[in-house]
């Protein structure tokens, strides 16, 4: 057995396991704490941390070796694929004529482009396109169509203008917020495939997406509430400033930000809903100009559909009188978000019928209660039918966006009179919170219990609104 001093010497000579951290900590020869999106050691020193992702070694932002020498190498995110460039960035000059000829090919329609995820190959970076200034300024028919037989290497536009923390928050939005907001979370998702690419070229929208993700992270894991509130107030101030410059119903970035801030309210379950929705409610419908470029036209149409969806669920929570009027008159028009999804997913026709029926039943239950206030036992057949629909929807697994039935669950829970029905809907809302982390589901449970304490002699629809308004959808 070796003497104790020898054992200590051997232990001291052993190499420590190498911990791969950020590039800045590596340059300073210190152990990185590997925090994401930026490490605390860099943040404390006031350094810009590159994070733990792949770091490309450039000379002046150009590749220094290999087939991309002299060409800009992209930094891409997984949610949106790669950016389009013009033919001047093609390495193989001989194939330029074929690229130009393919520009004349018509672009596929939405229905042709997007199919069910289980029928597709795994999503890759080249499967989707991002919005770039060139993309938005050109018409749909002038886009470059990819050809699998063409071996030309196309050098894409870099994302160096987006800092590492914001890229992390945008990726977080794609993975945690967008799936819950979708009607059917398969294949194409407008929140991921339209809003995120547009945010890459529109800083105002990018800040709003980061604010939604940051709020979700803080409520789940903790964080700096003060900086989050400052960023939120900054977005509100910019909305006010832009409203004095642009026509409110034509300013697409502001409408997107207003829509995203409502989703932030569903994440936080806060009381800012009455102020946000009060602003949105006063705006005229979005004016979609036919002269808009193809992808921007699709974005404007998608935003308009989502605003109608928001109003369908928010108006009844905002005020009883306006809510029953809005549901009675505009319900069919607001169901466009379901019809739009059905056009993208014809293979889920039966599921879409169930979703139409479930949302329609919840709307009818609200209108009956607000207009006629019938005895509670008369709603028993509606509740039983709704529960059967929910069970059939659940048989499709995780195909349906998790938050789609949040508002119907809330309405039918408030309408319930038996303990079995009440427990069923409260459990659904609790499960929704556990799956998504959206605090609005917990606020819904709390509000419903307060309604039940008010007694059956009070219309629960009349108890909505007031100082503690919240948004669930």
Where in the chain are the domains? 20-55, 58-160, 165-463
Mean of per-residue pLDDT scores for the chain: 79
Provide the β-strand partners of residue 59.
Answer: 62
Instruction: Return d(Cα 405, Cα 417) in angstroms, integer.
Output: 20
- 415-457 pLDDT tens trace: 999 999 999 999 999 999 999 999 999 999 999 999 988 877 7
Least-confidence region, from 42-51, 62-71, 223-232, 282-291:
62-71
CA dihedral 197→198→200→206, nearest 10 degrees, is -120
Instruction: Check pLDDT > 70 for residue 132.
Output: no
Instruction: Check pLDDT > 90 for residue 350.
Output: yes
pTM over 0.75: no
pLDDT of residue 430: 96
- 363-398 pLDDT tens trace: 999 999 999 999 988 899 999 999 999 999 999 988
Instruction: Check pLDDT > 50 for residue 289.
Output: yes
Residue with tokens 């599921």: 351
Local confidence band at 355 (pLDDT 50, 70, 90 cut-offs): very high
User: If phi over 0 gives left and psi between -120 and 50 gives alpha, with beta otherwise, what is residue 125?
Assistant: alpha
Stretch 281-285: mean pLDDT, rounded?
Answer: 75
- 282/441: higher pLDDT: 441
Local confidence band at 280 (pLDDT 50, 70, 90 cut-offs): confident
Residues in contact with 232: Cβ distance below 8 Å, sequence separation at least 6, in sequence order: 211, 261, 264
Stretch 123-140: mean pLDDT, rounded?
Answer: 40
Give the Cα-Cα-Cα angle 415, 419, 421 (nearest 5 degrees).
50
- The distance of Cα 471 from the centroid of its chain, to the nearest Å, equals 16
Instruction: Return d(Cα 441, Cα 249) in angstroms, integer.
Output: 31
- 297-338 pLDDT tens trace: 899 999 999 999 999 999 999 989 999 999 999 999 999 999
Q: Taking a C-beta distance cutoff of 8 angstroms, is the pair 170, 196 a contact?
A: yes
Phi, psi of 72 (to 5 degrees): -70, 130
Q: Which of 428, 435, 420 is nearest to 390 (CA)?
A: 428
For the chain, what is the HEC assignment?
A: CCCHHHHHHHHHHCCCCCCCCCHHHHHHCCCCCCCCCCCHHHHHHCCCCCCCCCCCCEECCEECCHHHECCECCCCCCCCCEECCCHHHECCHHHHHHHHHHHCCCCCCHHHHCCCHHHCCCCCCCCCEECCHHHHHCCHHHCCCCCCCCCCCECCCCCCCCCHHHHHHHHHHHHHHHHHHCCECCCCCHHHHHHHHHHCCCHHHHHHHHHHHHHHHHHHHCCCHHHHHHHHHHHHHHHHHHHCCCCCCCCHHHHHHHHHHHHHHHHHCCCCHHHHHHHHHCCCCCCCCCCCCHHHHHHHHHHHHHHHHHHHHHHHHHCHHHHHHHHHHHHHHHCHHHHHHHHHCHHHHHHHHHHHHHHHHHHHHHHHHHHCCCCHHHHHHHHHHHHHHHHHHHCCHHHECCCCCHHHHHHHHHHCCCHHHHHHHHHHHHHHHHHHCCHHHHHHHHHHHHHHHHCCCCCHHHHCCCCCCCCCC
pLDDT of residue 409: 97
Phi, psi of 59 (to 5 degrees): -115, 105
pLDDT of residue 49: 87
Instruction: Check pLDDT > 50 for residue 5.
Output: yes
Residues in contact with 183: Cβ distance below 8 Å, sequence separation at least 6, in sequence order: 337, 338, 341, 355, 400, 401, 404
pLDDT of residue 148: 36
Residues in contact with 440: Cβ distance below 8 Å, sequence separation at least 6, in sequence order: 265, 266, 267, 268, 269, 406, 470, 471, 472, 473
Local confidence band at 145 (pLDDT 50, 70, 90 cut-offs): very low
Q: Taking a C-beta distance cutoff of 8 angstroms, is the pair 172, 213 a contact?
A: yes
Q: Which of 169, 242, 143, 258 is nearest to 205 (CA)?
A: 258
pLDDT of residue 15: 62
Instruction: Check pLDDT > 80 for residue 142.
Output: no
Give the architecture-level CATH label for domain 20-55.
Answer: Irregular (4.10)
pLDDT of residue 207: 97
Percent of the chain with pLDDT strictly greater than 70: 71
pLDDT of residue 96: 37
Instruction: Check pLDDT > 80 for residue 247.
Output: yes
Phi, psi of 130 (to 5 degrees): -100, 155
Q: Is 56 exposed, middle or buried (0-12, 13-18, 19+ CB in 10 A)?
A: exposed
- 101-124 pLDDT tens trace: 433 444 333 333 333 333 443 444
Stretch 45-65: mean pLDDT, rounded?
Answer: 67
Phi, psi of 154 (to 5 degrees): -105, 125
């Amino acid at each position: 057995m070796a003497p104790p001093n020898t054992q200590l010497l051997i232990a001291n000579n052993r190499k420590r396991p190498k911990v791969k951290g950020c590039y800045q900590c590596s340059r300073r020869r210190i152990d990185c704490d590997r925090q994401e999106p930026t490490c605390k050691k860099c943040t404390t020193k006031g350094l810009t941390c590159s994070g733990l992702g792949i770091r490309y070694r450039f000379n002046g932002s150009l590749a220094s070796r290999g087939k991309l020498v002299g060409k800009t190498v992209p930094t891409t995110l997984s949610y949106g694929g790669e950016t389009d460039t013009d033919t001047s960035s093609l390495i193989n000059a001989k194939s330029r004529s074929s690229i130009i000829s393919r520009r004349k090919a018509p672009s596929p329609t939405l229905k042709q482009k997007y199919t069910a995820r289980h029928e597709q190959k795994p999503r890759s970076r080249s499967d989707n396109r991002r919005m770039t200034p060139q993309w938005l300024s050109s018409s749909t028919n002038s886009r470059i169509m990819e050809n699998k037989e063409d071996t030309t290497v196309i050098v894409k536009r870099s994302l160096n203008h987006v800092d590492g923390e914001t890229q992390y928050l945008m990726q977080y939005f794609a993975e945690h917020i967008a799936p819950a907001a979708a009607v059917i979370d398969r294949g194409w998702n407008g929140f991921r495939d339209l809003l995120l690419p547009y945010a890459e070229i529109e800083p105002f929208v990018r800040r709003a997406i980061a604010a939604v993700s940051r709020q979700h992270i803080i409520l789940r894991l903790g964080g700096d509430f003060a900086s989050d509130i400052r960023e939120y107030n900054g977005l509100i101030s910019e909305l006010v400033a832009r409203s004095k410059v642009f026509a409110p119903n034509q300013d697409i970035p502001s409408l997107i930000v207003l829509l995203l801030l409502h989703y932030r309210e569903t994440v936080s379950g806060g009381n800012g809903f009455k102020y946000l929705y009060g602003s949105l409610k006063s705006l005229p419908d979005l004016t979609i100009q036919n002269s808009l470029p193809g992808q921007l036209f699709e974005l404007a149409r998608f935003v308009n559909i989502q605003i109608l969806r928001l109003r369908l669920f928010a108006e009844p929570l905002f005020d009883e009188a306006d809510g029953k009027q809005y549901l009675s008159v505009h319900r069919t028009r607001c169901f466009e978000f379901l019809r739009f999804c059905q056009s993208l997913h014809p293979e889920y026709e039966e599921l879409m019928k169930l979703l139409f029926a479930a949302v329609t039943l919840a709307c009818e239950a609200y209108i009956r209660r607000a207009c006629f206030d019938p005895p509670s036992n008369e709603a028993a057949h509606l509740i039983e039918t709704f529960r059967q629909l929910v069970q059939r929807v659940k048989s499709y697994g995780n195909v349906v966006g998790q938050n789609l039935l949040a508002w119907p669950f809330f309405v039918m829970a408030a309408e319930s009179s038996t303990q079995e029905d009440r427990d069923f809907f409260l459990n659904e809302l609790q499960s929704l919170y556990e799956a998504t982390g959206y605090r609005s589901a917990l606020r819904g449970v709390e509000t419903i219990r307060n309604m039940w304490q008010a007694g059956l002699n009070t219309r629960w629809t009349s108890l909505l609104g007031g100082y503690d308004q919240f948004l669930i959808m």
